[in-house]
Structure 1
Amino acid sequence: MSKWMTEVDQRTGLAGANKMELLMFHLETDEIYGINVFKIREVMKVPPITSIPDTDARVLGVVNLRGENIAIVDLKRAIGLGQLCLATAKLIITEYNDSKQGFLVSGVDRIIRISWDRIHIPPPMVRTSRQGAVTAVTKLDDGRMILILDVEKVLAEIHPMTDEEVYVGIEATKHLEGKRVLVADDSSVARKQIAKTLERLGVQWEEVMTGREALRRLRHWAALAEESGKSVTEFVDLVLTDIEMPEMDGFTLTKSIREDARLHRLPVLMHSSLSGYCNVEKGKSVGVTDYVTKFDPKELRDKLVQVLS
């Protein structure tokens, strides 16, 4: 455990350099999977698991780690590949949205450092296969592919919530009337959640899947604004961006916005499941206006009103 976490701690400074690190792991198949090191809290042997009656078959139970109860998910089963052999499994403890969960995998390989511009959105047929769990792909120097999982989607499918539960109290407000938001997020679950929130708030929006695509769209609007003698806010009022995205991460996107004289005044909200002080401080250092933790519609509403009204 200490070996893995030492490596994790040494690598958290990559944010903002458009680089990230992937922990490669396996699920008893030929494929290699990856997860961002930022989301990992521990890699360990599987401790005793306490089964919970009448739970989803993909959730094997809970373990108690230093007084904290953590749900354990069979990741192989969760993405439709069958049940994992528990006897030889390893446990990856992750943190999303201020909540910890454990994922069982058949084995961990190594950590690799890679630039976001080498990570790409897979073709639509791949994105919709295996319950749409693959959000991005990258290639190793030896030609092997790494499939990067949309863990947010996996968790949302295991523990779905009704719209009535999630969006209670979210309704149109005059403070946001006519406002336009550019949303950048590679997770289909996140984009859907954001869209439902913005629609209920009466906000217009456009969405893209990568930081690079977001910057391209912003520069296009900036050029149109210059040609017509208008402000760029005639086209967009705010950027809502994830941290982790193929091709360009949210930190690099924000830095690029701040370096462009036509765009530098645009508010940028960072909307991410990557919890932690480090990410918030890194966001501030590149010019992020504020930070919103996924997924809290009320917090998103309040931040939008605060920044745009």
Structure 2
Amino acid sequence: MSTLINEIDARTRLAGANQMELLLFHLGTGEVFGINVFKVREVMKLPPLTRVPEADSRVLGMANIRGTMVPVIALRRALGLGEQDVDLTKPECKENGILIITEYNASLQAFHVAAVDRIIRTSWSKIKTPPALVRENNKGAVTAVTMLDDSRMVLILDVEKVLSDICPRPDEEVYAGLDIRPELKSKCVLFADDSSVARTQIRKALEKMGIAFVQTTTGKEAWDYLTELAEDAVKQGLPQVNRIQLILSDIEMPDMDGFTLTKHIRSDPRLAHLPVVLHSSLTGSCNQEKGAQVGATDYVTKFDPKEFSQKLTRYIL
């Protein structure tokens, strides 16, 4: 286990163009699941847990991880795949499974899984969007898939969706302070994000600000749309695209990540003038530095509506 932890600690510092690493794990149901290593802070045996009265049934309890109280989520239960037998009186028992400690939006969560497998490195071009029936299912948490060399499919989870389902926040709280500004009504934002939760947040925020938008689900889909806009501009005798005023892009996306999308935009003179703001739950400084290296205008963490509004307004006007 210590070898795997050391491997994760080292690899979370990596940020490559259109490259990503997945931690593979199992829930005792036969499927192989994956999570981006950048989001993993630690892998450990199940420690003693403190049950929380009247907590959501998907929350096993709280764990004290070196002085930090971390909620422990029963991932198999949260995904509707049944129960995993856990004897909380014997946390040292191997059969009780493993915790994957993750960081999302500057907070820690632990996901209880049956076992971890290994880390694989792959290209985002090999990470594919699942069929629409799976992707758009409101109860679905599979944001992407990829294939292993032995032809097994890896289901990559939208952990933001899992967390949102367990602890939803009312719109009045999430979008507090966002108001329509008349000077923004003529503006249009193109955004790309593979998370259904993030897309909903972005869409509602832009609507409350009175900004028009074009929604895409992957970097490649966004790039294809931008290419069409650029070709239309040329046909109209325009040197630059003027139908959108800003691009908001997630970093992690199937087919093409946000770093690669930004590089493509900066290399095309018809698009290079457009502000590109990266919008991600990956809070590490290495991701912000990588974004600056490929030409991103700025970086905003999911989901801070005040920061979101301030940065978009700064670059769109």
Give the shorter-chain TM-score range. over 0.9
Aligned residue number for residue 244 of structure 1: 252
Q: TM-score, normalised by structure 1?
A: 0.96
Question: Partners in 2 of 1:250 and 1:276 — Cα distance?
Answer: 15
Whether 2:36 is the aligned partner of 1:36: answer yes
Aligned residue number for residue 55 of structure 1: 55
SS of 1:131's equivalent?
coil
Aligned residue number for residue 84 of structure 1: 84
Contact 1:27 1:105 in 2 (8 A): yes
Cα displacement (A) at 1:231: 5.2
Aligned residue number for residue 122 of structure 1: 130
Cα displacement (A) at 1:89: 1.0
Contact 2:9 2:42 in 1 (8 A): no
Whether 2:45 is the aligned partner of 1:45: answer yes
Cα displacement (A) at 1:265: 1.4
Note the alpha carbon deviations across 1:249-308, whole angstroms, 9 max, x for none.
Answer: 001111111111111111001111111111111111111111111011121111011112
Whether 2:268 is the aligned partner of 1:260: answer yes
Question: Partners in 1 of 2:239 and 2:46 — Cα distance?
Answer: 56
Higher mean C-alpha displacement, 12-21 vs 50-59: 12-21
Note the alpha carbon deviations across 1:17-63, whole angstroms, 9 max, x for none.
Answer: 21101010001111100000000000000111111101100011111
Question: Partners in 1 of 2:22 and 2:122 — Cα distance?
Answer: 8
Whether 2:232 is the aligned partner of 1:224: answer yes
Q: TM-score, normalised by structure 2?
A: 0.94
Task: In structure 2, give the amino acid aligned to 1:83.
Answer: E
Please list, as runs of the form range in 1=range in 2, the aligned pairs for 1:171-250 lying within 5 A after superposition: 171-230=179-238, 232-250=240-258
Aligned residue number for residue 103 of structure 2: 95
SS of 2:161's equivalent?
helix
Contact 1:16 1:252 in 2 (8 A): no
Cα displacement (A) at 1:175: 4.0
Contact 2:20 2:122 in 1 (8 A): yes
Aligned residue number for residue 284 of structure 1: 292
Whether 2:145 is the aligned partner of 1:149: answer no
Task: In structure 1, give the amino acid aligned to 2:200.
Answer: K
Aligned residue number for residue 67 of structure 1: 67
Greater fraction of residues in helix: 1
Aligned residues: 309
Question: Partners in 2 of 1:123 and 1:219 — Cα distance?
Answer: 24
Cα displacement (A) at 1:128: 4.9
Cα displacement (A) at 1:212: 0.8
Cα displacement (A) at 1:65: 1.1
Task: Provide closer, same or farther for how the CA distance between residues 128 and 208 of structure 1 changes in structure 2, counting only shifts above 3 A.
Answer: closer
Task: In structure 2, give the amino acid aligned to 1:254.
Answer: T
Note the aligned Cα RMSD (angstroms).
1.5
SS of 2:139's equivalent?
helix
Task: In structure 1, give the amino acid aligned to 2:63.
Answer: V
